[in-house]
Amino acid sequence: MSGPPPAGPPPRRARRARRALPSRLVALVALVLAAALLGPAPAAHAAVGLTRVTGFGANPGQLNMYVYRPTSLPANPAVVFALHGCTQNAQGYADNSGLPELADRHGFLVVFAETTSSNNLNKCFNWFQSTDNRRGQGEAASIRQMAAHTVSAYGADAGRTYVTGLSAGGAMTSVMLAAYPDVFQAGAVVAGLPYGCAADVGSAYTCMSPGTDLTPAQWATRVRDAHPAWSGPWPRVAVWHGDRDTTVVPRNADELRDQWTALHGLSQTPSRTSVIGPNSTRHEEYHAGDGSVAVEVNRVPAIGHGTPVDPGSGAEQCGGTGAAYFLDSVCSSLWITRFFGLEDSEPQPGTLPAPTGLAATSATDTTVTLSWNPVDGAADYAVHRDGTRIATSDTAAYTDTGLTAGSTHTYTVAARDADGRTGQLSGAVTARTTGGTATCWTASNYAHTQAGRATTSGGYTYAVGSRQNMGLYNTFVIHTLKESPAGYYTVADGACP
C-alpha cells in the first residue's frame, strides 16, 4: 500500500545490509511482487519549484528533504509534510498532488520528504521495518528532524504541524502519527494502512491484501505502544481510500478508522455521514465530545489505488494526472487542507462583509436548517459548524444533515467571492436538534474504559468528553456515566434518569 503502489516493502541494498532481510529469496519475491503491483515509475516533472535542504539533522534514515515556500507567507506558518508512494519522488508528488497550489492559496509551508532506491529498491518508505517505524529510529527519526528544522529555520508553527502521504507514504503517515503524537497535530492517510500492521515483507503484503482484522482496542494498543509515555491528546486523522483499490484493499480504511476512533474513545459508528466533491465521495465524521471531527473517513467511488485529484482552475479543484497513481476524481488535498484547519489562513483574505441575520429556522432529530441575509457580490457561502467548515451553499440558506438527536452545535457563515476567497465570518448562532435522551451506563472503571466511555492516564480513569477523574483504573471502582450528547460522558452517580 505504499505510495502510488501498495506499501511495497522490498529490502535495502547491501550497503545497508544491517537493515535488510536475511533471505535473498524473500527479497527477490518482494521485488517481483512490488514491480507487478506498482507498474512503471512515473515520469518526472519540473513544474513546481522545490528547495533541497541539507544539514537538517543526523538523518539516520538517509532521506532527502525538499521545501515548497509560497511567495506570500505569513509569520509562523503552518507546515504540511507530504510523503510520496512507491516508485514516486518528491518532485512528482509536488507536481501532481495539488498541495503547492493550496499552499499558495492559504499560506502554509509544504515539506516533501523523499526516500531513495538506496533505502528501498522501489523507493518505498519502509513503514513495515522496525528500524524505520519506531520513535527515534531510521526514517521516522529523519522526518522528525525535518520537522524540528522547519521550525528553527523557517519559523514554522510547531503547534500546526501536519502530515499526509499516499500508499507507503500513507503507511508512513500512520507511523509518524503513532511515534510522534507530540509533533503532528493531525494527519491524512491516503490509500494507506494502520500503524503496527506489519513487521516484515510477508506481513506487509498480507496487510495490503486481504487485510488484517483486529479489534479497535488491539489496534489502539499498537499505537500506544509506539510512545508509551504519551497520554494524549491524540492526533486527528483523515482517511482516504478508493473503493476499487485492489493493491491496498478498502478494508484498511475500516481498520484505520477502528484504530483512531478507539484512541479517541469514540464509537465506530459515524456521527454524521454526507457526500462531498463532484463524484459524491462518501464522507464519514466521528465527533469528539466537543463536536469537533476527531476522525473522518472518505470513501472515493470508482477509483483504484492512488491519490484522488481533480485538475482544473475551479475553487474546489487541484492536482494533476501527469503521473501514475494520481486519479481524476476529487481534490483530496483540498479536503485534507480543510481537515487540518488551514483553509481560512489565506494570506490575502476576501473583502466581503460578514453575513447578517444568521438564524436557525428549524430543527429535527437529525437536521438543523439555517438562513441569513444575502451579501452583495457573494458567489456562494462557506458554512461552519463548531469551528470547522462543513459545506458551501449557493443560496443564503443551508440544511445540515446527519446530526445526532439532542445534540447542540454552533454555526457561522462567510460569503465567498468569485475567486473563492472567504470574507468575514458572521456572528454565531447555536442550535439544538430535537429528541435524544441521556443514556446511562453503570460499570467498573475497567469496563467503562474497555467500552470506550473512559480513558486512562497515570493509573487513573477519566470520562471521555468531560475528562472528569473517576478514580483508579480497576474493576473495583464503580461509577455511572451519562452520555449526552453522543460520545460525551459525565459522572452521574445517583443522578442519572
Residue-wise pLDDT for 392-422, tens only, equals 899 999 999 988 887 888 888 989 888 777 7
Q: Which of 293, 243, 288, 286 is nearest to 268 (CA)?
A: 286
Confidence band of 384 (pLDDT split at 50, 70, 90): confident
Contacts 24+ apart (CB under 8 A), 393-397: 396/355, 396/371, 396/372, 397/361, 397/369, 397/370, 397/371, 397/372
In angstroms, rounded to a whole number, what is the distance separating the alpha carbons of residues 369 and 396? 11
Across 109-113, average pLDDT? 98
The residue type of 267 is: S
Across 231-260, average pLDDT? 96
pLDDT tens, residue by residue, 70-80: 988 889 999 99
| HEC readout, 19-47 | HCCCCHHHHHHHHHHHHHHHCCCCCCCCC
In angstroms, rounded to a whole number, what is the distance separating the alpha carbons of residues 158 and 146? 12
pLDDT tens, residue by residue, 306-316: 999 999 988 89
In angstroms, rounded to a whole number, what is the distance separating the alpha carbons of residues 319 and 325? 12
The CATH homologous superfamily to which domain 359-432 belongs is Immunoglobulins (2.60.40.10)
Which residues partner with 440 through β-bridges?
482
**Of residues 70 and 344, more confidently modeled:** 70
Residue ranges per structural domain of the chain: 14-339, 359-432, 439-491
For the chain, the average pLDDT equals: 87
Ramachandran category for residue 163: left, alpha or beta (phi over 0 → left; psi -120 to 50 → alpha): beta
Per-residue pLDDT, 16: 38
Per-residue pLDDT, 437: 67
Q: Which of 2, 167, 174, 484 is catalytic?
A: 167
Per-residue pLDDT, 315: 87
Residue 376 above 80 pLDDT?
Answer: yes
Residue 215 above 70 pLDDT?
Answer: yes
**Of residues 238 and 290, more confidently modeled:** 238
Residue 223 above 90 pLDDT?
Answer: yes
Across 19-23, average pLDDT? 37
Confidence band of 100 (pLDDT split at 50, 70, 90): very high
Here the cell at position 357 is: 441575520
Confidence band of 347 (pLDDT split at 50, 70, 90): very low
Per-residue pLDDT, 455: 86
Using an 8 Å Cβ cutoff, are 429 and 360 in contact?
yes
Residue 1 above 70 pLDDT?
Answer: no
Residue 27 above 50 pLDDT?
Answer: no
Across 278-293, average pLDDT? 92
In angstroms, rounded to a whole number, what is the distance separating the alpha carbons of residues 184 and 329? 28
Q: What is the sign, positive or negative, of the torsion defined by CA atoms of 267, 160, 150, 102?
A: positive
Cα–chain-centroid distance for residue 252? 14
Using an 8 Å Cβ cutoff, are 111 and 79 in contact?
yes
Ramachandran category for residue 228: left, alpha or beta (phi over 0 → left; psi -120 to 50 → alpha): alpha
In angstroms, rounded to a whole number, what is the distance separating the alpha carbons of residues 270 and 153? 41
Fold classification of 14-339 is Rossmann fold (3.40.50)
Per-residue pLDDT, 465: 81
Distances (CA, A) of 396 to 256, 275, 338, 373, 374: 37, 20, 22, 6, 6
Q: 119: helix, coil or strand?
A: coil
Q: Could you confirm whether 393 is annotated as catalytic?
A: no
Per-residue pLDDT, 28: 33
Of 18-22, 59-63, 416-420, least confident by mean pLDDT is 18-22
Distances (CA, A) of 192 to 195, 272, 483: 10, 23, 33
Across 418-444, average pLDDT? 81
Provide the 10 A C-beta neighbour count for residue 29.
15
In angstroms, rounded to a whole number, what is the distance separating the alpha carbons of residues 200 and 486? 40
Using an 8 Å Cβ cutoff, are 388 and 411 in contact?
no
Across 11-26, average pLDDT? 35
Confidence band of 86 (pLDDT split at 50, 70, 90): very high
Across 435-451, average pLDDT? 84
Here the cell at position 306 is: 492512488
Confidence band of 343 (pLDDT split at 50, 70, 90): confident
Provide the 10 A C-beta neighbour count for residue 405.
15
